[in-house]
Amino acid sequence: MSEFKYWLIKTSSEDRCAEMRRQGAVTIDFDFLPDLSSLKKRDIQHKLTEQDSSLSQGDAILQANQVLRFVDKIEIGDKVFLVYNESVSVAEVTSGYTYSGQASGVLSPHQRQAKWLVNDQPLEHAPEGVRESMKEELAVGPVDKDYFHSLDSWLRDNFGLDIAQRPEEVAEKPWNLY
């Protein structure tokens, strides 16, 4: 069982973001990777550097870790904050990792089913702590404890959504996952 329950996922496409919400799924932007169910970290790193020969070893490790978080760490019931540009949507994960074999339209083949709770809310009206949490460089990473409480308050006060489970489920340091 993962110690984190709240995750940030960034996407590079407005169309993909909208399609995730329409299809009730959360995906990652690594479409070229094969089924990740049985791949090891070094295999993912190798595939990443094959795809982009200019990728440094350090960046390949960082990206492989993000991919593995999506596959191995996110669990059913966890909340995902999908970030694109200056907006955020919130979903609850309802399935384990699946691989569809190929991208479906704009959706990645790497998926988890999700129930969308909040759709496409602008961050400009959110508290400073909320906006700061969305600036993390990671494409897939846990919500840092420093920002969780302001994010939770914003969602509860503006959308009637109480995502809090237990404070110990919030990440102290998001960088120690792999």
Tell me the pLDDT tens digit for each residue of 87-124: 888 899 999 999 988 766 777 899 999 999 988 888 77
Tell me the pLDDT tens digit for each residue of 63-73: 999 899 999 99
| Rounded CA separation 9/4 (Å) | 14
Residues in the chain, pLDDT under 70: 1-4, 103-104, 126-127, 129-138, 145-146, 163-178
Contact 9, 82 (CB under 8 A): yes
Pairs from 160-165 (Cβ < 8 Å, separation ≥ 24): 161/90, 161/117, 161/118, 163/6, 163/79, 163/90, 163/117, 165/5
| Rounded CA separation 122/104 (Å) | 27
Euclidean distance between the first and final Cα of the chain, in Å?
14
Where is 102: in which H helix or E strand?
A: none
pTM summary value: 0.81
HSE value, Cβ hemisphere, 13 Å, CA-based, for 101: 0
In this prediction, what percent of the chain has a pLDDT beyond 70? 78
Which domains does the chain possess?
A: 6-32+76-169 (3.10.590.10)
